[in-house]
Amino acid sequence: MTGAATVTLTAPPGMPLVRPGDDLAALISTALVAAGVSLQDGDIVVVGQKIVSKAEGRLRNLADVHPGEAARRLAREAEKDPRLVELILAESRRVLRTRPGAIIVEHRLGFVCANAGIDHSNVAGEAAGDESWVLLLPEDPDGSARRLRDQLQRMTGARAAVLVIDSHGRAFRRGTVGVVIGAAGFPCLLDLRGEEDLFGYRLRVTEVGLGDELAAAASMLMGQSAEGRPVVHVRGLLYPERDESSSELLRSAEEDLFR
Amino acid sequence: MTGAATVTLTAPPGMPLVRPGDDLAALISTALVAAGVSLQDGDIVVVGQKIVSKAEGRLRNLADVHPGEAARRLAREAEKDPRLVELILAESRRVLRTRPGAIIVEHRLGFVCANAGIDHSNVAGEAAGDESWVLLLPEDPDGSARRLRDQLQRMTGARAAVLVIDSHGRAFRRGTVGVVIGAAGFPCLLDLRGEEDLFGYRLRVTEVGLGDELAAAASMLMGQSAEGRPVVHVRGLLYPERDESSSELLRSAEEDLFR
């Protein structure tokens, strides 16, 4: 690189409210075109998990959920609706911590997050305003990212990478940040170990969470507007194309000093 | 916002190697101008902590360090140089976890990180290649950010925000990500609690770690080049100007479920 490295992130307006069964790739493609963005090879499309989950029909109505004893007990501890807790448990491998308002779990997808990523979410149409609808994470966010990537390539001809992201709280630090939960065509973990540093005399020991850094970057734009901007287009970031899943970002419980 | 929200990150080339006593604001200002960037009100200048530490003379030579008994004992456990461990302890409030290669501490500045952020760092000039030089974090990174901000305003006339960032490992997830350790003029923690969501029927409960999201975004560009790009200029991000310190991102040990 000789000139200035420049990365541009664009959050197109005009994404409609997404409903179960919607063709998400078509909605994204249309919104990008309307914003004057023509997708190119090497671009990255970052998508908030909520619209992926909605398109995939991951809405559940609490009226249909019958909490068991474990859920009712945990619900008292966490001061939450036992039906919601039943769904949280069904989406989780195990509960790590509980405090009023939050149940920190190891999600079935492997990451640690609050309330299994389930949210009383915005629901469009006839169900709007009905607090009994909640939204689960996508069944297989890596698969969702792969399908979106392939569909966008068919529609536009361009081979872009796709990230599906969510916002997670963290140990030690306040504030949620964007993190990757699904990826296609992007190296979420960049292994710099063995590369020489600036002076050529020392080997680096770092693995960089590049996917999470990009998720955080895109998340800034998604949160910038009260109307919601669930899609962010990224251009200019150099990265080696790889087909690893987002799971390379997950530290196993055995390797983790804080679980 | 009606049009597409666009954020542009630029990592100017041509930052020289920084030495103790250098006028960092002048070096940054020159590099920005050379890259064709004219600083404007509302821009954000993100600076890697290493060049701040170097300019402030935070280099230490291990030959001058005499480890005590606590450092020698911890060094055996962590398989580290006892002199380095002595410095780590001096920069820390307490040790949280230890494993071979890493001592996880609560830094005197309040955040949790490995090895108190001390690195066998690149040293320029006559000391190049000497592995006995290490670099501590800035004494007061919020103060460093404030001074840089004021100096940049005097030089350019523009009131930009300044972030000083480092790369930290994390609980639960692999890979380091950029995080804020010093800030001036930027709301590191954005409190959305009490705002209505998209459908106007539910109050949000989220605090967003906007400073860390921007640190992660800038960190992507800093890591993009073997030559090192320790400065990233950001334009287009909307944020309320606030003079909070970066410490608002720190979760207290009492509030933390994982310490």
A226 touches chain B (CB under 8 A): yes
Buried residues in B242-251 as b, exposed as e (16+ CB within 10 A): eebbbbbbbb
The pLDDT of residue A196: 64
Dist. CA B146–CA B125, nearest whole Å: 29
The pLDDT of residue A110: 95
Closest residue in A to B13 (Cα–Cα):
A4
Q: Average of pLDDT values for B55-79?
A: 96
Q: Is the pLDDT of residue B105 over 60?
A: yes
The pLDDT of residue B243: 78
pLDDT-derived band at B2 (thresholds 50, 70, 90) equals very low
Q: Average of pLDDT values for B21-42?
A: 96
Min CA distance, A75 vs chain B (Å)?
Answer: 18
Q: Is the dihedral of CA B121, B124, B130, B134 positive or negative?
A: negative
Q: Is the dihedral of CA A76, A79, A82, A85 positive or negative?
A: negative
Residue to substitute from B213, B227, B246, interface A, most A β-carbons within 10 A: B213
Percent of chain B with pLDDT over 70: 88
CA atoms within 13 A on the CB side of A214: 40
Nearest to B122 among A10, A197, A248 (CB): A197
Q: Average of pLDDT values for B110-117?
A: 95
Question: Cβ separation of B177 and A209 shorter than 8 Å?
Answer: yes
pLDDT-derived band at A1 (thresholds 50, 70, 90) equals very low
Q: Average of pLDDT values for A220-235?
A: 84
Dist. CA B41–CA B129, nearest whole Å: 41
Model ipTM value: 0.94
Name the strand (E) or helix (H) holding B103.
strand B102-107
The pLDDT of residue B199: 58
A120 touches chain B (CB under 8 A): yes
Name the strand (E) or helix (H) holding A122.
none
**Cβ-contact A171, B172 below 8 angstroms:** yes
**Cβ-contact A242, A149 below 8 angstroms:** no
Token pair belonging to B110? 């309040």
Dist. CA A137–CA A122, nearest whole Å: 14
Q: Average of pLDDT values for A180-188?
A: 97
**Cβ-contact A86, A68 below 8 angstroms:** yes
What are the tens digits of pLDDT across the range A4-61?
A: 799 999 999 989 989 999 999 999 999 999 999 999 999 999 999 999 999 999 999 9
Question: Cβ separation of B225 and A1 shorter than 8 Å?
Answer: yes
B206 touches chain A (CB under 8 A): yes
What are the tens digits of pLDDT across the range A228-251?
A: 799 999 999 999 888 778 999 999
What are the tens digits of pLDDT across the range B170-225?
A: 999 999 999 999 999 999 999 877 666 655 555 566 899 999 999 999 999 997 65
The pLDDT of residue B125: 54
Q: Is the pLDDT of residue A82 over 80?
A: yes
CB-CB neighbours of A42 under 10 Å: 17
Chain-centroid distance of CA B67 in Å reads 27
The pTM for the full model equals 0.94
Dist. CA A243–CA B222, nearest whole Å: 24
A193 touches chain B (CB under 8 A): no
The pLDDT of residue A191: 83
Q: Is the dihedral of CA B74, B80, B85, B86 positive or negative?
A: positive
Q: Average of pLDDT values for A101-130?
A: 82
Dist. CA B23–CA A259, nearest whole Å: 44
Show the domains of chain B with their CATH numbers.
Answer: 7-57+137-250 (3.30.1330.100), 59-136 (3.90.1660.10)
Chain-centroid distance of CA A38 in Å reads 23
pLDDT-derived band at A120 (thresholds 50, 70, 90) equals confident
- Strands B44-48, B161-168: pairing is parallel
pLDDT-derived band at B76 (thresholds 50, 70, 90) equals very high
Q: Is the pLDDT of residue A2 over 70?
A: no
Nearest to B5 among A11, A189, A201 (CB): A11
